[in-house]
């Protein structure tokens, strides 16, 4: 297959996580961060920095009583998703597009697109695969000579994902869900430009088309999540048909991963989880992984709080931190293979339920996360976080009753795991 330019932005983890799953398709195995690539003009960099700083500030400021909620509500309205069942014409541009395209007219993004196209004058340029709509719009606006693809990173999407004039766009979209597929049509994108592929999950957690790696991981996970074998007794035939025989014993303890969002929100929950299960961690019955990602200040917070509570010496608590996203992404995926429960706000990690990982859904931040939460719950892939003060009681009740095992199996059987391979196949057929 012809290699592609994979474009992302290093603002939060959502677009980068999506891009790094596509790294096997990328030119020289390189992910191009369009807001920080080598040689980016100062004006372009400044525009990206300002938008990132504002988002992170608003996400953190939301916790401030009254004023925080008010500011976030105003910001969230600019990216809100319209009602699905409506008579309203959803093809009209929104505030986002009206503010974005004048910046293109002033040259925002032209250096990037010209740099990618420059060496291919008179030749067939590699396709662009962008995990962020803005960079896909840039490629179209500045007449990139190759094909342009855009990977959608949410279960449902706002009008922001479609360009100013969607009817005439040449951007082609990879949609992770039927709802996202339908939304793009509602926004005016021609159906011939939309492919339902599923979200691109890391192949190192799946294997090939037969999902041999994932199958073995899910076997261990279900055995760990169903210690009383309640789910196994009820649905043994389904388990055997899809997975074969489960192991009689799993060497690792029940493992909970708590992942903080890219803006660092909700880090306090991680410490509350460890405090609640201190005895079980000491007895090697439970392990907790606190994901700080690439945020050193979050790592320092976790370490400081664990010292303060005098539980820093617990061997069953792991802090997952790496200084670069590439190192973090690699370690995260490896650690995920030995994880039984993923506790996170419903960001792009919602799609990781397709790996047979039950999601404990932390409180949402923003309307797009509300919709991701609806998708998780409606699909039977997860469980909404209850009162954190009683986490030990309600979490262990769900384990004892086999409910998390049921969610894991639901995600594995009903999920769409082969997004990367489907995207590769489509690009091969479209571009040779």
pLDDT in tens, 366-400: 788 999 999 999 999 999 999 999 999 999 999 99
Say if residue 418's pLDDT is above 80: yes
Ordered alpha helix ranges (H), 226-266: 230-243
pLDDT at 48: 86
Q: Cα torsion at 239, 243, 247, 252 (round to 10°)?
A: -100
pLDDT cut 70: percent of the chain above it? 92
CB of 184 closer than 8 Å to CB of 156: no
pLDDT at 57: 45
pLDDT at 79: 63
Give the Cα separation of 316 and 282 in Å (integer).
Answer: 7
> And the tokens for 240?
């055997």
CB of 148 closer than 8 Å to CB of 115: no
- DSSP H or E stretch at residue 129: strand 128-130
Answer whether 4-201+418-431 and 204-414 agree in fold.
yes
Confidence of residue 84 (pLDDT cuts 50, 70, 90): confident
Judged on CB neighbours under 10 Å (0-12, 13-18, 19+), 283 is: exposed
Give the Cα separation of 231 and 223 in Å (integer).
Answer: 10
pLDDT in tens, 102-120: 999 999 999 999 999 998 8
Give me the mean pLDDT over the 25-45 stretch.
94
pLDDT at 87: 87
pLDDT at 121: 75
Say if residue 261's pLDDT is above 80: no
Give me the mean pLDDT over the 305-316 stretch.
89
Say if residue 355's pLDDT is above 60: yes
pLDDT at 47: 86
Q: What SS3 class is residue 28?
A: strand
CB of 177 closer than 8 Å to CB of 375: yes
> And the tokens for 202?
């890391």
Which segment of 59-68, 306-315, 402-411 scores lowest on mean pLDDT? Answer: 59-68
pLDDT at 123: 75
Give me the mean pLDDT over the 47-55 stretch.
67
pLDDT at 431: 85
Which fold is adopted by the domain 4-201+418-431? Answer: Rossmann fold (3.40.50)
Average pLDDT over the chain reads 91
pLDDT in tens, 186-205: 999 999 999 999 999 999 99
Give the Cα separation of 261 and 13 in Å (integer).
Answer: 8
Residue 116 burial (CB count, 10 A): 23
- Comparison of pLDDT for 356 and 67, the residue scoring more: 356
Confidence of residue 61 (pLDDT cuts 50, 70, 90): very low
Q: Cα torsion at 399, 400, 403, 409 (round to 10°)?
A: 70
Residue spans of the domains in the chain: they are: 4-201+418-431, 204-414
pLDDT at 54: 47
Give me the mean pLDDT over the 323-341 stretch.
97
Q: Does domain 204-414 have CATH number 3.40.50.2000?
A: yes
């Amino acid at each position: 297959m012809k290699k592609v330019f994979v474009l992302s932005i290093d603002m939060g983890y959502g677009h980068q996580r999506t891009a790094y799953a596509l790294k096997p398709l990328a030119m020289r195995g390189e992910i191009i961060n369009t807001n920080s690539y080598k040689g980016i003009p100062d004006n372009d960099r400044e525009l990206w920095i300002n938008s990132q700083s504002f988002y992170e500030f608003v996400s953190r400021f939301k916790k401030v009583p009254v004023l925080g909620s008010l500011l976030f509500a105003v910001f969230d309205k600019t990216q809100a998703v319209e009602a699905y069942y409506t008579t309203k014409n959803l093809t009209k541009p929104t505030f986002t597009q009206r503010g974005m395209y004048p910046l293109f007219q002033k040259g925002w993004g032209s250096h990037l697109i010209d740099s990618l196209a420059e060496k291919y004058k008179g030749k067939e340029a590699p396709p662009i695969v962008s995990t962020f709509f803005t960079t896909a719009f840039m490629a179209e606006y500045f007449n990139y000579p190759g094909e342009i693809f855009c990977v959608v990173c949410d279960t449902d999407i706002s009008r922001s994902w479609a360009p100013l004039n969607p009817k005439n766009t040449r951007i082609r979209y990879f949609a992770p869900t039927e709802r996202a597929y339908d939304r793009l049509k509602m926004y005016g994108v021609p159906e011939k430009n939309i492919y339902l592929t599923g979200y691109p999950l890391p192949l190192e957690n799946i294997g090939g088309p037969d999902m041999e790696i994932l199958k073995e991981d899910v076997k261990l996970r279900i055995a760990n999540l169903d210690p009383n074998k309640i789910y196994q007794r009820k649905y043994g035939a389904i388990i055997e048909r899809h997975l074969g025989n489960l192991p009689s014993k799993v060497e690792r303890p029940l493992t909970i991963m708590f992942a903080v969002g890219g803006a660092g929100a909700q880090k306090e929950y991680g410490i509350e989880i460890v405090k609640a299960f201190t005895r079980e961690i000491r007895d090697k019955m439970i392990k907790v992984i606190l994901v700080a990602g690439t945020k050193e200040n979050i790592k320092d917070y976790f370490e400081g709080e664990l010292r303060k509570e005098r539980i820093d010496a617990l061997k069953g608590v792991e802090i997952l931190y790496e200084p670069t996203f590439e190192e973090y992404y690699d370690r995260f995926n490896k650690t995920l293979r030995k994880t039984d429960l993923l506790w996170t706000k419903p960001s792009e990690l919602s799609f990781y339920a397709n790996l047979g990982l039950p999601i404990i859904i932390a409180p949402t931040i923003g309307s797009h996360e509300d919709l991701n939460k609806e998708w998780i719950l409606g699909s039977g892939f997860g469980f909404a976080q209850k009162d954190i003060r009683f986490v030990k009681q309600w979490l262990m009740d769900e384990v004892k009753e086999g409910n998390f095992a049921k969610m894991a199996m639901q995600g594995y059987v009903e999920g769409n795991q082969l997004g990367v391979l489907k995207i590769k196949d489509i690009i091969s057929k479209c571009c040779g």
